Structures are given as structure tokens and as C-alpha cells.
Copies of this chain bind each other. A is one copy, B any other.
Amino acid sequence: MQHERFRKHGKDVIDWIADYMTNGYDGPVFPKTQPGEVLAQLPMEPPQEAEPGEQVFADFESLILPHTTHWNDPRFYAYFPANHSGPGILGDLLSAGLGVNGMSWVTSPAATELEMRMIDWLGHMLKLPWRGCIQDTASTATFCALLAAREQVADVNQSGFYQQQPMTVYASKHAHSSMQKAVWMAGFGERYLRLVPGNDDDFAMDAAVLAQMVAEDIAAGFRPTFVMSTVGTTSSTAIDPVHAVADICEANNMWHHVDAALAGTAAILPEMRWILDGTERADSFCFNPHKWMFTNFDCSVLLVKSPDALKKAMAINPEYLKAGHDAVVENFRDWGPQLGRRFRALKLWYVIRCFGVAGLQDKIRAHLNMTRWFADQVRAEPRTHLLTEPKINTVCFHLDDDAATKALMKAVNDSGEAYLSHTVLRDRYVIRVSFGQIHQSQQHVATLWGLISRLLP
């Protein structure tokens, strides 16, 4: 593609994205694609000769879009949001245009230092002035925190696990599955992972049970090493008792990680900052601007109280990467699993400046109001029941029996007019409605409730 063709076609792509952001997708938000349907329409072999970008784009419109789940359409209420935004897209575009690899300070000083300052800004917004860096996902942030904890207790990096006292790990039964996966990957073994029950009312971790489990493990000769508190669980946005967990971690010298992947963004509101109370006593904290802070995926932020603990677990310095200033600069390759690093701070810079903190707060507040309004409708409608009071941005509700709940969700999703997802809590099939898509307005939410009302049995 010659540069002038890039210039022309690039502007067409910008126009398409502007239209998509303005109008949403002109078709179902959730496609009725059958497995293999897209594959069957894609040539088995690559083209030998160059094709024009316009042809690829035409195929994108006819073949990709109709088989895409439209995460950035306002009718998307499934899982948690994964938001783009105009500023996020432009920051990301500049990053692609530059194409720097920010693995080390020297491989792009501005990439490292802008990332440091964006962490300062986020720490200011969250009132958690720690150091940190951008990871790809909360899965990786949890994994990093677990490795830092592991290397504080035992030098597994050098010696392996074999001669170690078994290390135990704790998280809520409602914690994200990436906790379990991190335990697998880091070699702890799931038999040493304790899933602490949540209380039956709001699914928050029962700290008394945690304390008891820790005591039992010590008695059994194990070494309690790591606890993850979740602020805003995936199923129901339950909030673990961070202070009570901190008490137990401090008493037993355990690493305490707070996973607020979704909910952390809400803490930029003064009236919501309480959800992070106690986090200042933890060792590490993660939230994902790529979820609810309108910063394109991927952008997950890991803050740590002691960067040295993280770097002890992660830092490697082969000859071909050695450079001047190494003693006085941060090389973010030493803060995470991957060597290569995209210049992700650019999109955060664009987002925070183009929204302003007040603008971000306005958006989040509006989403919280939508959540409350929707919960009010569920409460007022005799056929729908709240599973628990919504804590953050997600309403969990059900009908009188699971079959009816499932049928309702299927009918909504089949309509193409909204996309919802589900979970199982208290042995019940539950519909989750998660607010926070950037283009969502109260009008969309009213439309959603109208659709649900019409489809109720």
C-alpha cells in the first residue's frame, strides 16, 4: 500500500469509525452466526498478489461486521464493557503509527516516562499514589502479583518449588477465573488454592472463614502466601471486605492483591471512593481502564506498593539489552512477563486529557444512575427479582424459575436488540445486565427495559 493510498483509505476508515460511534451498528448487536460460517467464506490460501485496502474493507463490511458481537454498540450489556472512545482510538492510532517497542527506557524514553506520569495521574484520581505500570489484562496483573508474592517467600525463580514448604493462596469463591489460572501457571497447584465462600446475601468474601483457613493451613505445615480481595466480582460486583482481609494478611505476612478490574474506575468518583477503602494497606492493586474508563483494550493498570518486589520476580538483563542509564531509569520489561511493550500510555494520555477528570466522572455517574434506574424497574415488576442489591454497574435478576430466566435471556439476545450474559449464583440461573458502554444513554436503557417487559412470560 503506497503512502498516498494509506492516506486516502485511512480517512475512509476514520469516517467509518465516526459513523459507527455515532449510529451504532445497523444490524443485530449479537450475531446469529453458526460455527464455521465465517471460515467457510474465507479463502483457504492467501493471495499471491496485492489487493487494494478498499477491497479488504469491503469484505470487512460484508463478512466481518455481520458476524461480530458489537461490544461498542450501546445495546451491549453483557459481561463487563470493553470500551473504546474517540480519544482512546486516536492515542492507539498514534501508537500504531510510531510503532515503538517500549521494552526499555532507552528504546523510547518518552514511552516509559509518559507511562510513569499516567500512573501518577491515575494514582491521583484513585487516591492511591503508588507506582506501577500498564499490563495487558487483569489476568496478567494477578499473575504478576502472585509471582512477586512467591519470590518474597521463596526463591522459586532460581530453585524451583521442589524443596519449598507448600505455599497456599486464597481468594473469594466469586473471584475471577484468572486467579485459578495464575495459580496453575505459576506452579502453585490448584490443591493449594483456597476459595473462600462469600456470604449468601451479597457474595462478599467471609473474612472469618479466610482467617480460619489460614490458621488451618499453618497448622498443616503450609505457608500462606497470597490473598486476592476482589472489589466488584465478575458475577455480581460483590465487594470483599478489604480491611478485614488486610488484618489477616498483615498478621500472617501475606501478600495482599486487590483486583478491581471493573470497579476501580468507579473510585474516581468521590462518592464511590469507599469501595477501595483498605486498599492502601494492600501490596498491589489492579484496575482496567480498558473496561469502564474508555481506553481501548488492552490497558490494565497494576499498582504496587513495593516495585522492588515485582522487579525481583521479573527482571532479566541480557547483554543485548544493556544500556546506559540502566541504574537510574525504569525498564518496564522488568515489571511484567513480556519483553516487548506497545506504547499504551498514549491512549491513556488522550483519554484523560480529552475527557478531563470531570468528564470521566460525569460518564461514570450517568452509568451508575442507569444501573439504579434499571434496578428500580426490576424491583417494581412482580415477575422479575433482584438477586442482590446492585453495588456498582451490574444488575443481577431472575424470574421465578431457571427455565423462564434462560428463555427470557435467549429471547432478548435473539432479538438482536440487546445482548445480555448470565451467571449462576445461589444455584440459580441469573441474568446480568452490565451498564457502562460509552455510547449508552438513559434512552437506551429505557428501550432495553421495554424490550424485556414485552418478552416477560
Contacts and interface: CB of A to CB of B under 8 A. Distances in A.
A71 B98 contact: yes
Contacts of A349: 56
Nearest to A7: B18
A20 B94 CA distance: 11
Q: How many copies does the complex hold?
A: 2
Given A38-B113, A68-B98, A93 B328 contact: no
Nearest to A49: B356
Interface string A53-65: 1011100100111
A83 interface: yes
A161 B185 contact: no
A88 B82 contact: no
Interface in A17-65: 17-18, 20-22, 31, 33, 35-39, 42-53, 55-57, 60, 63-65
A241 to B, nearest CB: 22
B159 A162 contact: no
Nearest to A38: B113
A218 interface: no
A91 B6 CA distance: 11
A171 interface: no
Contact of A340 (B16, B191, B298): B298
B178 A114 contact: no
A321 to B, nearest CB: 7
Given A89-B96, A99-B72, A166-B162, A186 B189 contact: no
A192 interface: yes
From A87, A180, A314, name the one whose CB has the most chain B CB atoms within 10 angstroms: A87
A17 B17 CA distance: 18
Interface stretch (A203-211, A303-311, A419-427): A419-427
B109 A67 contact: yes
A392 to B, nearest CB: 15
Contacts of A265: none
A323 to B, nearest CB: 8
Nearest to A63: B110
Given A33-B110, A68-B108, 4 more contacts: A38-B114, A44-B124, A60-B346, A177-B316
Closest 10 CB pairs of A and B: A187-B187, A160-B189, A6-B86, A161-B161, A84-B99, A17-B97, A38-B113, A10-B14, A7-B18, A67-B110
